[in-house]
């Protein structure tokens, strides 16, 4: 008796799992979305300094893959309050899968805070769309590091000035030719009285 109950429980469990698996499988591949997007940021830890670049890799998947499809990609970086910081558009061709690397220079005056990189894809007829986004943080350069950079720039400037001045003095010394040297070379003749 106990063996039969265990057998029925196993069959019931198997049917439930099969039903669930079919439902998940069916939903994953029966979607009416033709395209899907995935974006990844190259920048380490998604923390950036204003004035630097955001580098992303966009992977586009054409789920039906019925030949080449041209798509429009709209890129935008949104600020902490939702304001658009950067906005660009491009067209790309997709067969089954395409990867695109994009770089966006952040404005040097960007305040610190949370930002969002957004990519919106649409087919040329605008019937098929997909979206993806990735958050990142803009941080300030630590004051100690900023002071160190300014100090190094000052030292390099002083060294360059010294080198240029030294070479200039050497060139002036080499350019001075005495009257005796010119006479020896035959450029001038002294009058003998």
Determine the pLDDT at residue 144.
65
pLDDT tens over the chain, length 193 residues:
455 554 555 554 554 544 444 443 333 333 457 888 999 998 767 888 888 899 999 999 988 767 888 999 999 999 999 999 999 999 999 988 999 999 999 999 899 999 999 999 998 888 889 999 999 999 987 666 656 667 778 888 888 887 877 776 666 566 666 677 767 777 777 766 5
Determine the pLDDT at residue 33.
76
Number of domains, the chain: 3
Considering the domain architecture, whether residues 147 and 54 belong to the same structural domain is answered as: no
H/E element holding 133? strand 129-139
Considering the domain architecture, whether residues 41 and 96 belong to the same structural domain is answered as: yes
Considering the domain architecture, whether residues 58 and 117 belong to the same structural domain is answered as: yes
Shortest CA distance to 105 belongs to which of 153, 151, 56?
56
Determine the pLDDT at residue 80.
93
The answer to whether residue 87 is domain-embedded is yes
Considering the domain architecture, whether residues 177 and 110 belong to the same structural domain is answered as: no
The answer to whether residue 71 is domain-embedded is yes
Considering the domain architecture, whether residues 24 and 60 belong to the same structural domain is answered as: no
Determine the pLDDT at residue 189.
73
Contacts (Cβ under 8 Å, ≥6 apart) of 130 = 33, 35, 36, 37, 60, 120, 121
For residue 71, what are the domain limits?
33-139
Considering the domain architecture, whether residues 52 and 108 belong to the same structural domain is answered as: yes
Considering the domain architecture, whether residues 151 and 133 belong to the same structural domain is answered as: no
**Cα of 50 vs its chain's centroid, Å:** 13
Considering the domain architecture, whether residues 161 and 117 belong to the same structural domain is answered as: no
The answer to whether residue 193 is domain-embedded is no
Considering the domain architecture, whether residues 126 and 42 belong to the same structural domain is answered as: yes
The answer to whether residue 40 is domain-embedded is yes
Residue 53, domain CATH: 2.60.40.3880
Determine the pLDDT at residue 166.
74
Considering the domain architecture, whether residues 40 and 124 belong to the same structural domain is answered as: yes
Considering the domain architecture, whether residues 52 and 99 belong to the same structural domain is answered as: yes
Considering the domain architecture, whether residues 174 and 86 belong to the same structural domain is answered as: no
The answer to whether residue 178 is domain-embedded is yes
């Amino acid at each position: 008796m106990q063996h039969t109950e265990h057998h029925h429980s196993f069959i019931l469990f198997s049917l439930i799992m099969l039903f669930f698996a079919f439902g998940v499988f069916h939903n994953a591949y029966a979607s009416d979305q033709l395209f899907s997007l995935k974006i990844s940021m190259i920048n380490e830890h998604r923390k950036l300094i204003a004035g630097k670049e955001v580098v992303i890799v966009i992977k586009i998947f054409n789920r039906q893959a019925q030949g080449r499809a041209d798509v429009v990609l709209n890129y935008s970086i949104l600020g902490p309050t939702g304001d658009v910081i950067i906005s660009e558009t491009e067209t790309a061709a997709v067969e089954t899968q395409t990867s695109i690397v994009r770089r966006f220079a952040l404005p040097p005056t960007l305040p610190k805070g949370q930002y969002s990189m957004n990519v919106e894809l649409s087919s040329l007829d605008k019937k098929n769309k997909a979206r993806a986004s990735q958050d990142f943080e803009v941080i300030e350069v630590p004051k100690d590091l900023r002071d160190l950079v300014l100090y190094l720039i000052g030292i390099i400037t002083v060294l360059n000035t010294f080198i240029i001045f030294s070479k200039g003095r050497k060139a002036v010394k080499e350019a001075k030719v005495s009257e005796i040297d010119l006479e020896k070379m035959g450029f001038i003749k002294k009058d003998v009285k």
